[in-house]
């Protein structure tokens, strides 16, 4: 080793600078590696943002109001229109999208450090932490930073390919997860807020709307789920009939070619989602009825809009999807920003 502080480069001799440099401490090496990984991830996020035309987050203030059901229905409806759709389950402690998409027990395919989504109904590309769990019944307890790192990795390392829409489902509340996604993934088109008609859920959805503003992501609107109750039955195919609803209200019903009919009764307080949306100056996207078939669909992995494409729930979903896509605009148009 040379004593001189200046290293003289000779063509025959390797530079002494390399020899004299202090080797990085394990701590520094770890930091450098972490910075490198972070940089790689940021580049990957940028590419993903470019490859995916529209990114939609589905949030709610309260748990169990139907976020995953709405996210899944949205993904399937868009795929039915021939669009390339991805569905990402960010609920990493209680992931249930795979079950709803009929993908229970599937594993992820990893090649060259890239994660390949599983393919669900209608060709929807699905990513969920459930695909990594050994045992789907054992809850995973993630410590804060690990959880957020896992989410970033889940976004950046997934090979989505080119997508028209990516729907992102979250755990309930204004937690770290949506913040991490909004900070990591550029150009999120907007947030769909799911609520139920009860006052408590509506109050919580107000919080979600102000949370969306702090995230600086536009609110695409509010969906009122479990609004009214759908009954069904069978009768003479292609006939019409009248069903007596609550308070003696007559409901006209058309029986389909297979002899099935369904009607939605307003037995709960309905319309709170619409009022909340109007008060807070965000669009109302539509109301989805309480439909016992939705519960079965969630459990057996066949969404109502697949099992009964002409049923009340499917029709209600169509309105919600239409309200969302009309805001996103066409290929060339700019997304309408609401905040
Ligand atoms: N419109 C509906 N009619 C009947 N049941 C519904 C409806 N929407 C959702 N459900 C049922 O309610 C339960 C909760 O729905 P879901 O899992 O979609 O809610 P979530 O908001 O994602 O819950 P979490 O906060 O736990 O993630 C499920 O069993 C689902 O099948
Ligand atoms: Mg959920």
Residue closest to 222 by CA, chosen among 250, 197, 259? 197
CA of 73 to the centre of ligand 2 (A): 12
Question: What span, in angstroms and rounded, lies between the C-alpha atoms of 184 and 164?
Answer: 19
Alpha carbon separation from 265 to 10, 247, 261 (Å, rounded)? 88, 10, 13
CA of 100 to the centre of ligand 1 (A): 10
Quick one: pLDDT at residue 335? 41
- Measured from the alpha carbon of residue 61, the closest ligand is 1
Quick one: pLDDT at residue 326? 92
Residue nearest to atom 16 of ligand 1 (CA): 66
Helix (H) or strand (E) holding 244: strand 240-244
pTM above 0.85, yes or no: no
Quick one: pLDDT at residue 330? 56
Alpha helices in 185-244 (DSSP H): 199-215
Q: Mean pLDDT of successive 10-residue segments in the chain (339 residues)?
A: 42 50 85 85 84 94 90 92 94 83 88 90 91 69 73 86 95 84 89 85 81 91 88 91 82 91 75 83 91 73 72 87 87 43
CA of 201 to the centre of ligand 2 (A): 15
- Measured from the alpha carbon of residue 66, the closest ligand is 1
Quick one: pLDDT at residue 234? 92
Which residues' Cβ are closer than 6 Å to ligand 1?
60, 63-69, 91, 96, 171-172, 225-226, 288, 290-291, 294-295, 298
Quick one: pLDDT at residue 7? 41
CA of 133 to the centre of ligand 1 (A): 22
Question: What span, in angstroms and rounded, lies between the C-alpha atoms of 158 and 117?
Answer: 7
Question: What span, in angstroms and rounded, lies between the C-alpha atoms of 319 and 289?
Answer: 12
288-311 as b/e, with b when 16 or more CB fall inside 10 Å? bbbbebbeebbeebbbbbbebeeb
Contacting residues for 116 by C-beta, under 8 A, at least 6 apart: 108, 109, 110, 158, 159
Residue nearest to atom 31 of ligand 1 (CA): 295
Three-state SS at 238: coil
CATH numbers and ranges of domains, the chain: 31-221 (3.40.50.300)
- What is the atom index within ligand 1 of the atom nearest the CA of 62? 25
Residue nearest to atom 27 of ligand 1 (CA): 171
CA of 95 to the centre of ligand 2 (A): 7
CA of 120 to the centre of ligand 2 (A): 17
- What is the atom index within ligand 1 of the atom nearest the CA of 60? 21
């Amino acid at each position: 080793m040379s004593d001189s502080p200046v290293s003289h480069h000779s063509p025959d001799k390797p530079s002494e600078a390399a020899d004299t440099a202090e080797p990085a401490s394990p701590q520094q090496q770890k930091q450098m590696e972490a910075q490198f990984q972070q940089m790689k991830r940021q580049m990957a996020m940028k590419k993903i943002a470019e490859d995916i035309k529209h990114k939609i987050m589905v949030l709610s203030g309260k748990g169990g109001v139907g976020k995953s059901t709405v996210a899944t229905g949205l993904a399937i409806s868009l795929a039915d229109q021939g669009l390339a759709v991805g569905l990402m389950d960010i609920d990493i402690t209680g992931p249930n999208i795979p079950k709803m998409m009929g993908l229970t027990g599937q594993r992820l395919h990893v090649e060259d450090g890239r994660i390949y989504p599983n393919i669900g109904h209608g060709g929807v590309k699905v990513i969920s932490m459930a695909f990594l769990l050994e045992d789907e019944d054992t809850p995973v307890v993630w410590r804060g930073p690990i959880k957020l790192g896992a989410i970033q990795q889940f976004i950046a390392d997934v090979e989505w390919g080119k997508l028209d829409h990516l729907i992102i489902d979250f755990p309930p509340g204004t937690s770290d997860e949506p913040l991490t996604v909004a900070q990591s993934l550029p150009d999120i088109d907007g947030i769909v807020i799911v609520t139920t008609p009860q006052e408590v859920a509506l109050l919580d959805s107000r919080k979600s709307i102000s949370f969306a503003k702090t995230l600086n992501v536009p609110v695409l609107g509010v969906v009122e789920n479990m609004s009214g109750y759908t009954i069904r039955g069978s009768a003479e195919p292609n006939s019409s009939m009248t069903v007596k609803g609550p308070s003696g209200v007559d409901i006209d019903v058309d029986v389909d070619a297979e002899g099935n009919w369904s009607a939605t009764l307003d037995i709960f307080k309905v319309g709170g989602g619409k009022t909340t949306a109007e008060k807070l100056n965000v669009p109302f996207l539509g109301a989805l009825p309480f439909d016992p078939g939705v519960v079965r669909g969630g459990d057996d992995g066949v969404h109502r809009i697949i099992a009964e494409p002409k049923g009340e729930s499917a029709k209600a979903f169509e309105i919600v999807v239409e309200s969302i896509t009309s805001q996103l605009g066409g290929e060339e148009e700019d997304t309408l920003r609401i905040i």
